[in-house]
Every structure is written in C-alpha cells, then in structure tokens.
Amino acid sequence: PSSKTSGSAAKPPQPSASQLDAVRASIRDLLKQPNYDDGSAGPVIVRLAWHSAGTYDAASGTGGSNGAGMRYEAEGGDPANAGLQHARAFLEPIKSAHPWITYADLWTLAAIVAIEAMDGPRIPWKGGRTDFGTAEEDQARIPPRGRLPDGAKGADHLRIIFGRMRFNDQEIVALSGAHNLGRCHLDRSGFHGKWVNNPTRFSNQYFRLLLANEKEWRRKTLANGVEQFVYVEKVEGQSEGEEPEGELMMLPTDMSLLSDPVFRKWVEIYAADKDRFFADFSAVFAKLLELGIRRDGEGNVVNDSNVKAGYRS
Ligand code: CCH
C-alpha cells in the first residue's frame, strides 16, 4: 500500500458503495465485546476518532484525523492517548479483511458506525484520508503532544483547546455530550468511573445528570490524589476527611460546563431537548472528523504538495 501522503502520487482510495458497506457491517459485528469494559468496543473507538482529530491547529493547519499518526510512538505515546491501543487493536482485523481502507478512514468511520449502533444520531462521513508512512517528511507531520484537553482544568482551558480547532461555545458543549459514552480508567487517565448509568447507549443523559436534580455533585479526591466529582445523595454537612462514595462521575472540565453561564445555557438546552442535542452533535462530530482535510468541489481529498514538515505554506 502507498504510504505517500503528499504530491500527485498519492491517490485517495475510491471504494465502491458495497465495499464501504462491507466495512460498516464488519465494524457493527465487532462492537459487542462481552469481556471488555461495559460490553462494547464502541466508546473507546469513539475516543480514538476524537483524539485522532482533536490535535488540529487551525493556525498552522497541522494535526487532525488525516495520517493516523497515533500508530507511531510520537503521537500514540502521548499520555492523553493511554488506552487507545485497545481501540486500535479491536479494529485491526477489519483493516486486515479490508486492506484498501486507510487507518485514518477506518478509525473515523468506526466511530460514526459505533455511535449510530449505540442509538445515537446518524453522522455524515466522507473518506479519502491517507496514512502517514515512515518517511521523514511524513513523520514530521505528526502533531506535537499536549494538544488534547486536560480533564483537571476548567472552562478557560476548554475555550483555548477547542478555540484552536475553531469550535464555538455551543459546539464545545455539544461535543462534550460524548461523555454519555464509556468510562474513565485509573490506569489510563487516573480518573475513575462512568458518567451515566448505561454507558453504551448514546443519549442526552449526561446533560440531565450534570444539572443534578435528584442528587448532587461532590468533589472527591481519589487514592491517587486525582480530583473528580461523584454523584451522591444530598446530605447536610459531611464529616471532614471523609470522601464521598458514588458510582457516577464528572471531570472538573465537565463541571465547568455548569459554572460557566454560556456553557450552562447549552447544557440546559441539550438536557431538555434530546433531538436538538442529536442534531447538533451529528453536525459537530462530522466537522471534527473533517478538520485539516482539504477537499475539492466533489468532496475528493486534495493532496497538498505544499505540506512540508507539518506546516502549510
Ligand atoms: Fe473525553 N475523556 N474528554 N471526550 N471521552 C475520557 C473518556 C472519553 C476529556 C477527558 C476524558 C471529549 C472531550 C473531553 C470520550 C469522548 C470525548 C476520559 C477517560 C477523560 C479523562 C479516559 C480513560 O481513563 O480511559 C476532556 C478533558 C474533554 C474536554 O472537552 C470529546 C469532545 C469526545 C468525543 C466527541 C469517550 C467516548 C470516552 C470514553 C472512552 C472509554 O474508553 O470508555
């Protein structure tokens, strides 16, 4: 397979509709993983796609889902990507069975197939991404580490990270709704637990829980020193030194969507209107997966021969 990603030699794959349908079917078949986490490979695959795209920097045109640089240590070894090797391993048999598809297309396609299979919205997707090879010029295009968000931070941090990708406040909140899915792992991020009761079914439950009508969110320090929030019964006064117990969790970044008034307005809208959330999530996730990918009028990827050493001239 060609590993070239620039110049006229690299032709984006042009699969037939039935070839693409076969990949979609294979993805649906592998989602059920009874011995993994909550029984589905879906959530970790969604995170793989998000982290592959979320390195985008609009100012330099670098990063984004093109290239699948996470296969290499430079990007895959970013502590923010800990655990995503499981998602890549789940998808490896599909790559073997359908070698024409690039990793960059497979990871992004798998996420939208998974979201739909977990009762989420249909999300538009276009192929044509290429994979970075081992040539020096390709390796130089792997984005630097440290571009992904840090869950221990707050609203300002979210605006800096997502602003770099040119997302607005509404889009930040809609994207955050992906935390309806999956869980935090102590050995990956240091945080612990799931956001919602059924973490393999896409819904707007995350927003409804954030608004915490029945219980309340309390700050908790885990044994590893990491601070998160847990959902607990409302109790008057809590004895000093006692950490609250609760099954559901929120990151400090999730809680910042409540304390920031503009973010909060969108949390309330999405908590009240699942259809609105699904429509907005579909649009913003599709936009995320297209970051840094240049297409001509027909939607074909335009390979940019000016991309050198990670920068567009
Ligand atoms: Fe996230 N996310 N995420 N997240 N995330 C984690 C897990 C998932 C942040 C931090 C974390 C998005 C935005 C943010 C998913 C999708 C999205 C974890 C736990 C942390 C920490 C990782 C672990 O321990 O395994 C922060 C900070 C932000 C800032 O906004 C966005 C955007 C998306 C997708 C659109 C999904 C899905 C998971 C679950 C993964 C799993 O393995 O279950």
CATH (domain of 256):
1.10.420.10
Task: Tell me, yes or no, whether 25 and 139 share the same domain.
Answer: yes
Residues recognised as catalytic: 51, 195
pLDDT for residue 214: 83
- Taking only the tens place, the pLDDT of each residue in 33-47 is 999 999 999 999 999
How many domains in the chain?
Answer: 2
The verdict on residue 197 lying in a domain is: yes
Q: Is residue 308 over pLDDT 80?
A: no
Range of the structural domain that residue 169 is part of = 155-280
| Cβ atoms of 218 and 230 closer than 8 Å | yes
Q: Residue 150 CA: which ligand 1 atom is closest?
A: 27
CB hemisphere CA count around 113 (13 angstroms)? 24
Does 139 lie in the same domain as 232? Answer: no
Q: What is the pLDDT of residues 73-119, one digit of tens each?
A: 999 999 999 999 999 999 999 999 999 999 999 999 999 999 999 99
Best residue among 48, 179, 226 to mutate for probing ligand 1's pocket (most ligand atoms within 8 Å of CB) is 179
- Which ligand 1 atom sits nearest the alpha carbon of residue 38? 43
Q: Which residues line ligand 1 (CB under 6 A)?
A: 43-44, 46-47, 50, 83, 149, 151, 158, 175-176, 178-179, 181-185, 188-189, 191, 251, 253, 285
Quickly state the pLDDT bin for 313 (edges 50, 70, 90): very low
CA gap 249, 269 in Å, rounded: 21
pLDDT at residue 243, as a whole number: 86
> What are the tokens at 10?
């690299």
Looking at the DSSP assignment, which residues form a beta bridge with residue 250? 229
Q: What is the mean pLDDT of residues 216-226?
A: 96
Confidence (pLDDT) at 300: 85
- Considering the domain boundaries, does residue 309 fall inside one? no
Task: Examine the predicted complex and report whether its ipTM is higher than 0.85.
Answer: yes
Q: What percent of the chain has pLDDT over 90?
A: 83
- Span from the CA of 255 to the centroid of ligand 1 (angstroms): 14
pLDDT at 169: 98
